[in-house]
Structure 1
C-alpha cells in the first residue's frame, strides 16, 4: 500500500503531499491540477523504466524540464494569498528542481530532477570548438533515495544516489559505495536492482513497474477495441484496449465469471457478453434484451464500449499493486455511474485504486458505494492545493538536499 504521494514543482503543483488509504478519489474544478497530479504520477512510474519508458525521455517529450516546472515564485507568502501584495518573484534559496516520491508500508522512493549540466558534443569543423549537445531538453537526475518507513530521514535511507555516485547501506548499517557511475539519465531503479546487494531497490522497482494507468480509451470507429484481434490469454488489458476480447475471455475462464456477468447485467440489464471466435480471431459481442442477434463491437456505442474496457481493466485476474484511472466517466451516461462505482469498489478490494474525476454523478456514486477518501483540489494564487487543508496539515514529507 502506498501511504503518501509527494510532488513538488511540477506545473501547477508547487508542493503537495497526499495521504492515500486504498481507494482515493481526486476531484476538483477544471484547471485545478488534477491532470498535473496524474501526469506527475506517471512520470514517477517512468523512473522504473520497463514498458513505460524512462522519466528523462518522458519529460523531454513534454518539452523539457523548463516547460514543466512550477512557474510561480519559490515561496508564496500569506500576504500574496490574501491579495495584500502582488505575486512576485522572491530570492531563490534552492536549486531549480522537480521532485516526486512515495512512501509505502515497506519502502519509499524519491527522485530529484534538475537543469542539465552543459555537455559538449562533437567538434565544429570550422571553429574547432565543441558543439553544444543536441540533448538540451534532457533533465539530469540529481538525487535519488530508497528508504524505509514513512519519511526519508537519513537514518532510514537504504540507497542514496547523489549525482553520479551511489552508495548502499550494508547489513550492519554501514555505507558501501557502489562500483558504478550513473549517467544523468540513468535511475538507480533500473541500474542497481540486485537481489543480493540491493534487494530493496529490486522490490521498489517491481512495485512501481506493476502500477497500471488507464486514461481515455479510444472508442472512435477505428479504435483497436472495435477490431477483431488474435486471441491469446490476456490477464492484463493493454492501455490501448486493443486486446479487449481476449482480456474479457481470460476473465471468464480464469477470473471471476459470476462477477463479470453481474457487472454487465448491472450496467446493461438483461444483456449478455459474448466473445466470438473465427479462425483464431476474437471479437466482442453484446446480446441485448429484445435483439434477435448480438451487437458486434463496431456497432456498440462509445459509452458501452468504454464500459466494457473499464470492466476488463478492473476485473483483471492479475491485480496490480496500484491502478490509476484518469476520468473513467468519459463518454458514459450518468445512469452508468452507479455500476461504474460498484466496479471500482470491487476492484479496490484487490488493488489500491486512485481515481481522478470531475463527474458529479460518479463522485456521488462512489461516496455512496463504500469507503473512499476524497481529495478535492483547488487553485490558490495559481498553486494546486487540497481544499480545506491548512499549510501544516496533511502527511509530513521530507525532501533531502542535493
Structure 2
C-alpha cells in the first residue's frame, strides 16, 4: 500500500506531501486541483512504462505543466498588501514526483535541458535525478539506487554503490533501463508494482462505446481502460472470480436484476435481466448510467487485484440512487486493493468518508495554488541533482 504521495511544481500543485490510506478520497470545487492530482499520479505511473516524457509532451510540454506562480509567496502577497509577482529565482526549474509504500520509496526530478536551443528537441524535459530507497523517507543510509544526470548507481549485495550506467539518455528512466534481477532487483520489483497500477477515467458509455457491441472474448482478469472488453471481464469474474460479489453488486444497484454473458461464434455479449421486463436487455440498450456502473463493477471486482486503482470522477452519468451502491462496491474492493477516488459527488463523498480506512482531502485554491489540509504531513526528502 502506498503510504505517502509527493508532488512539487506540477500545475497548481506547488508542493504537497500527503499520507494515503486504504481508501483515499479527493474532493473539492471545480478548478481546485483534483484533476492535477490525478494526472500527477498517472504521470508517475507512466515513468515505469518509459512514457513520462511523451505524456508531458501531450500536455503541452514541461513549460505548460510547471507551476505557473512565483517560486514563493511573501507574507505581503498572502495578505493582499502587494500583488502576486515574480521574484528572483533561487532554485532550479523542477517538476518532482514521488511516493513511498510499505517497503520502498521512489522519486523523480524532471527539469529543463541544459542544451536548450541546440536541438529541435530542446523543449523536451530531461530527467535530472531519480532515487529508490527502503523505508519511509530518502536518506544517504537507505538509498538503494540513484540517478544523477547520465549516471546510475545501485547498491550491490556487498553493500557497495556500483555504477551500472554512465551514459543513460536524458529521456530514459533508471526504472526502465537499470531494473535487473541481479544488481537492480529492487528497481525491478518497484517497476512491476507501478506497472500494475490501474487508472479508470475514460470508460466509454456513449452510443458507440465498444462495451455496447459483441466482441471476441478471451479470459480477461483486468478490464481495459475504455471498457471495451466488459463482457469478457464479467464472464472472467463469474468463472474464476467472486461470482457472489458480482451478483450482490448488481442487485444492490438494480434490485432483482442479474447479468449473464451470451456467446455466439466466439463473440461475447452482455445481457441484463431487469425486474419486471419480459426479456433481457442487450448492452446496446442500457442507459449510460447502468452501463457505467457495470463497467466500474468489472474494474473493481477484478480477479487479479491491483496494488492501486485510481478512479477519476466515477460518478459521471450515474443517477444519485447509484452512488451509495457504488460507495459500497468501492469499499468492498478496498479490502483487496488500495483505491484513490477523485470525485465531487456529495453523496458518494459522504458515504465513502464514513468507511473505516478512508482518508479524505478537500482541495481548495489560494492564490492559484492547490492547498490541502493534512493533520499529519509525512517526512519527505527529494533526491539531489
TM class, shorter-length:
over 0.9
Query: How far off is 1:370 after superposition?
Result: 3.8
Partners of 1:361 and 1:64 lie apart in 2 by 37
Asked whether 1:76 is paired with 2:73, we answer yes
Q: Give the aligned partner of residue 309 of structure 2.
A: 323
Partners of 2:107 and 2:32 lie apart in 1 by 24
Q: Give the aligned partner of residue 184 of structure 2.
A: 198
Contact 1:216/1:327 (<8 A) preserved: no
Q: Residues 89-108 of structure 1: matches in 2 within 5 Å?
A: 89-108=86-105
Q: Residues 2-401 of structure 1: matches in 2 within 5 Å?
A: 2-49=2-49, 54-118=51-115, 132-387=118-373, 389=374, 394-401=377-384
Per-residue Cα deviation, 1:120-157 (whole angstroms, up to 9, x for no partner):
8xxxxxxxxxxx53323321001000111111112211
Per-residue Cα deviation, 1:296-344 (whole angstroms, up to 9, x for no partner):
0110000000000000000000000011000000000110011000000
Partners of 1:138 and 1:307 lie apart in 2 by 39
Is the deviation greater in 153-162 or in 171-180? 171-180
Contact 2:165/2:178 (<8 A) preserved: no
Partners of 2:381 and 2:36 lie apart in 1 by 21
Partners of 1:57 and 1:295 lie apart in 2 by 41
Equivalenced residue count is 385
Q: Secondary structure at the match of 2:88?
A: coil
Partners of 1:384 and 1:176 lie apart in 2 by 40
Partners of 1:2 and 1:398 lie apart in 2 by 16
Query: How far off is 1:180 after superposition?
Result: 4.3
Structure 1 gap segments, 5+ residues each = 121-131
Q: Secondary structure at the match of 1:93?
A: coil
Contact 1:216/1:330 (<8 A) preserved: no
Q: Secondary structure at the match of 1:207?
A: helix
> In angstroms, what is the RMSD of aligned CA positions?
1.4
**TM-score between both structures, scaled by the size of structure 1:** 0.93
